[in-house]
Amino acid sequence: MVHVEQKVSGNINHSIDYSKIPTFRTCGTSEFQGALEFVRTAEAKIDFVFPEVVFPTNKLYRLWGEKNIRDMVFYHHRLLRKSSIGSFFSSDDAVFEFATKKTGDFFVEALGGGKVYSSQYGHPALRMRHFHMTIDEKAREIWLMMYKKTIKELSMPAECIEEFWNWIEALSIRMINRRTTVLDIQRFPFTDMFKEPIAQKKESN
Amino acid sequence: MVHVEQKVSGNINHSIDYSKIPTFRTCGTSEFQGALEFVRTAEAKIDFVFPEVVFPTNKLYRLWGEKNIRDMVFYHHRLLRKSSIGSFFSSDDAVFEFATKKTGDFFVEALGGGKVYSSQYGHPALRMRHFHMTIDEKAREIWLMMYKKTIKELSMPAECIEEFWNWIEALSIRMINRRTTVLDIQRFPFTDMFKEPIAQKKESN
């Protein structure tokens, strides 16, 4: 049994065996009971296991190329701008385009196109960079669903979709920076998202 | 090795061995690297272990009584109202007093004074009831520090402080409903908080 040391400030230091710790969702609401002569205890919990993130290979970059990746990011941001999280983006077109270009640099580099992002901006530090936006569970879902739409409408090469989707689906969970715990963090498996023949334009904006 | 099943929506279902899962804070920021010919993986993580909550006995209720407990809640809320999270409370005195009376009912019942809360309001469901307030790590600290001040200034019976403090210190972590993950959840051990002789009015408001 492996024990992991959790560093906390002050002099409370727990040696934790995670295998024994339930999540909020695996426990029901316990009965409320007033104090008695003896002490009662509610067990330690964790919230959620952030799943592993499997990064894509450079297959999409090799098959689709830089221009299509940049077009995808622009398309996605334009969808987001019209969505309920549109306020994440500037209403000033020049600012919007600059931000989208920067995101495009990130995707090009992340997908294998060389250091076009990190040479300008350094480490992505994605959670810190997104912190000024209130990303809760719902905002992450909207971001992800607009990628589903983008992938379909721009006809991403079918053989690249699964690894691209699995990457952003898991990665986007880590961007949640105002975790409410009231909403579950939903998973959106590739097989559920892309059931219909890919590259058919079923939805249009 | 115990495995805990994490229920997730969709068809992704992980059997998780928590003992192998690091927290965000036990991992540094990994090096950013663009996609290659092969797949790379970032390991699963958890955020934080919510510590167990040890509920107090009815000692405080027996020694201090209902009136002092209600006075404590009023005192605490008045401090909060003047703090940076004062907007959690109504500026209307009647509304403020009603809300504070209700919180008083909760503390009286939780500390052993009978069903004065649940008979009126049902299960406390504390996280749900607080959800309309944006409680992040900092808001929880302010709430807790105002209790430290209240305990000292109202001279809570010295022999009751440790179990009362340990209860609210751990419980308050579970009220955080906009977890940023940018700030750590600080622990405030009793021994650090109440070093000086208790019941001495060192601070005054």
Domain count for chain B, please give it.
Answer: 1
* Per-position DSSP letters for B23-89, written without gaps between them: BGGGS-PPPP----SS-EEEPPEE--EEPPEEE--SHHHHHHHHHHHHHHHHHHHHHHHTSTTGGGS
Query: In the prediction, which pLDDT does B16 show?
Result: 52
Averaged pLDDT for residues A1-20: 42
Q: What local confidence, expressed as pLDDT, does residue B204 receive?
A: 46
| ipTM summary value | 0.74
Contact call for A188 and B4, based on CB within 8 A: no
Listed by number, the residues of chain A in 147-186 with a beta carbon closer than 8 Å to a beta carbon of chain B are: 163, 177-182, 184, 186
- The alpha-helical segments, DSSP class H, found in A23-92 are 59-81
* Coil vs helix vs strand at A6: strand
Q: CB A50 to CB B45 under 8 A?
A: yes
Q: What is the DSSP letter of B202?
A: -
Closest approach of chain A CAs to the CA of B101, in angstroms?
A: 17
In a domain? residue B154: yes
3-class secondary structure, A46? strand
pLDDT in the model for residue A83: 97
Q: Give residue A20's pLDDT.
A: 65
pLDDT band at A25 (very low <50, low <70, confident <90, very high): low
**A74 pLDDT above the threshold of 80:** yes
Nearest Cα residue to A14 out of B194, B49, B27 = B49
- Total-model pTM: 0.78
Question: With pLDDT > 70 as the criterion, what percentage of chain A qualifies?
Answer: 83
pLDDT in tens, B121-154: 999 888 888 888 999 999 999 999 999 999 999 9
When pLDDT is cut at 50, 70 and 90, the band that residue B28 belongs to is low
**pLDDT tens by residue, A36-45:** 888 888 888 8
Q: Which residues form the domain of B119?
A: 59-193
Question: Mean pLDDT of all residues in chain A?
Answer: 85
Assigned domain for B26 exists? no
B115 touches chain A (CB under 8 A): yes
Residue labelled with tokens 């230091």: A13
Q: Is residue B83 part of a domain?
A: yes
In angstroms, what separates the C-alpha of B153 from chain A's closest C-alpha?
A: 23
Residue B43 covered by a domain = no
Determine contact: A36 vs chain B, CB below 8 A: yes
Cβ neighbors of B67 (< 8 A, separation 6 or more) are none
Q: Is residue A184 part of a domain?
A: yes
Evaluate whether residue B20 is within a structural domain. no
Q: Which residues of A touch B34 (CB under 8 A)?
A: 58, 109-115
Nearest to B180 by CA among B146, B145, B140: B140
Q: Give yes or no for A45 touching B (CB within 8 A).
A: yes
Give the Cα separation of A198 and A159 in Å (integer).
10
Tell me which residue in B25, B34, B49 faces A46 most closely, judged by beta carbons.
Answer: B49
The pLDDT-based confidence of B7 (bands split at 50, 70, 90) is: very low
The separation between the first and the last C-alpha atoms of chain B, rounded to the nearest angstrom, is: 52
Say whether pLDDT at A7 is over 90: no
Whether residue B148 contacts residue B193, with contact meaning beta carbons closer than 8 Å, is answered with: yes
In a domain, B71, yes or no: yes
Q: CATH number, domain at A94?
A: 1.10.490.10
